[in-house]
Amino acid sequence: MIPSDHFVRFYNEVFKALDARGRRCLTDYWREIGRLQKRELAARFRRGGVAAAREYWQRIIREENCRARIVKRPGGFEFRMRRCPSLSKALDNDATPFGLYCDHCMGWIEPVMKAAGLYAVMDMISRGEARCVFLVTENAAAAQEALKRARLPSTPYRPDSLPPRQPVRAQPASGRNRRQKRER
């Protein structure tokens, strides 16, 4: 098994290489990840609805060591990521983080949710901060409202929604990361 530090670096570089071949290559890759995730999750979410999706993301918080919490909302829930372990590793790396790194989440989540009859809206907040908020809901109107309120919505499959190629500029590191960098 690949250690997660190596996996994140690999993912980051794969995203860069695919994007260099054309944005369509990148979004096709994300769609393929979504297709594979649908095989595991879509039927479960269709049967269990929002409760099954919430249970899945509770498990992700534990398994991926996320600093996150789930907040129940009418007809759904918000997954409030205070520190994404994946983007944190990409930012705390000698390679430049891929500018659209965070969009890969909606790249796989969106196809799963559509297949399950649910809606998801991701507010990335900033491409250089390892935090986000996403809503999972049964209600299309609530999803549209959340999309309007999002500071930086992730909509990787909408035409022209992804910005042109550019590197991410990391925000100042947390106290723990600053100490680690000083010790190097």
The string of pLDDT tens digits covering residues 75-88 is 999 999 999 988 88
Instruction: Calculate what percentage of the chain has a pLDDT beyond 90.
Output: 66
pLDDT value of residue 3: 58
Strands in 76-83's sheet, in edge-to-edge order, are 67-73, 76-83, 132-137, 119-123
* Per-residue model confidence as pLDDT tens digits over 86-131: 888 888 877 788 999 999 999 999 999 999 999 999 999 998 899 9
**CA-CA distance, 135 to 77, in Å (whole number)?**
6
Question: What residues are paired with 153 via a beta bridge?
Answer: 123
pTM over 0.85: no
Q: At the top level of CATH, which class does the domain 4-183 belong to?
A: alpha beta
Find tokens 């809901």 and name the residue: 137
pLDDT value of residue 103: 94
DSSP 153: B
Q: How many CB atoms lie within 10 A of CB 183?
A: 6
State the pLDDT confidence band at 181, using cuts at 50, 70 and 90: very low
* 178 pLDDT above the threshold of 60: no
**CA-CA distance, 137 to 3, in Å (whole number)?**
33
State the pLDDT confidence band at 179, using cuts at 50, 70 and 90: very low
* Per-residue model confidence as pLDDT tens digits over 14-46: 999 999 999 999 999 999 999 999 999 999 999
The residue ranges of every structural domain in the chain are 4-183
